[in-house]
Amino acid sequence: MDLQGKSILVTGGARRLGRAIAMELAGAGAHLLIHHHASDADASETCDAIRRLGSQADALRADLRHHDQILSLFDAIDALGSLHALVNSAAVMLPGDLLTATEDDWQATMDLNLKAAYFVLQLAAIRIRSAGGGAIVNLADIAGLRPWPRFPLHSISKAGVLALTQVAALALAPEIRVNAVVPGPVLKPDRMPDERWQTLGDSLPLRRTGTPGDVARTVRFLLENDFITGEALLVDGGNQFVSP
């Protein structure tokens, strides 16, 4: 798919990894729809940066944990025109314990990471199909393949995103291709000490951590390549080969 002039929704696109993805797609000439929840200033700055590249950008606010706000988000998208692609990036990563996690803990993760990913994909796919077809990329996580005991709900939710990707790839073909990117250590968590991040990179086969740009370029590749669907592409520096 040629991204020039295509309208692409990036959920969680105002900051961190979502912003890097949006900027990469803007460099290809896409019209970016930057979803955010409460990052008004970041969303505005990201849109300004995209416009400086010569591409279009619109910021759209919604709390994707609530289905009525997902519906309102797509009402706003409809008012802007057609939709050709989706990058499902919005997520939360909360620590916890398998034996003490509560229903509220479950909902805090699943409502955004999996339920929202499903319904955003559903509503986007209807519009992408109406526009003549396109592509969807879901952001998963290495934790969905190699579960992390300290993040049980996050691991479960991201395994669900991988299943969603495969189901959707079959259900939506041939008009819409659906793939996933599975990032490893590409963006240091805010609370992680620099020394721990360095140690993590040293433990990888490539002996370094990655960057948001590594993921962003992979998302672009999957949107542009018209003969890939149902794939989960790891961008992890070989982390899948490291013993837990």
Asked if residue 241 is part of any domain, the answer here is no
CATH of the domain at 43: 3.40.50.720
Between 109 and 191, where is the model more confident?
109
User: How does pLDDT run across 140-194, given as a tens digit for each residue?
Assistant: 999 999 989 999 999 999 999 999 999 999 999 999 999 999 999 999 988 889 9
Asked if residue 30 is part of any domain, the answer here is yes
Which pLDDT score, from 0 to 100, does residue 244 have? 64
Q: Tell me what the pLDDT averaged over the chain comes to.
A: 96
Identify the domain containing residue 26 by its residue range.
7-234
Asked if residue 186 is part of any domain, the answer here is yes
Task: Match 């995209």 to its residue by tokens.
Answer: 50
Task: Quote helix, strand, coil % in the chain, to nearest 5.
Answer: 50, 15, 35
Which pLDDT score, from 0 to 100, does residue 81 have? 96
Asked if residue 103 is part of any domain, the answer here is yes
Asked if residue 13 is part of any domain, the answer here is yes
Contact status, residue 136 vs residue 85, Cβ threshold 8 Å: yes
Asked if residue 240 is part of any domain, the answer here is no
User: How does pLDDT run across 31-47, given as a tens digit for each residue?
Assistant: 999 999 999 999 999 99
Instruction: Give the number of domains in the chain.
Output: 1
**128 vs 112: CA distance, rounded Å:** 22
Taking the whole predicted model, whether its pTM rises above 0.75 is answered as: yes
Asked if residue 20 is part of any domain, the answer here is yes
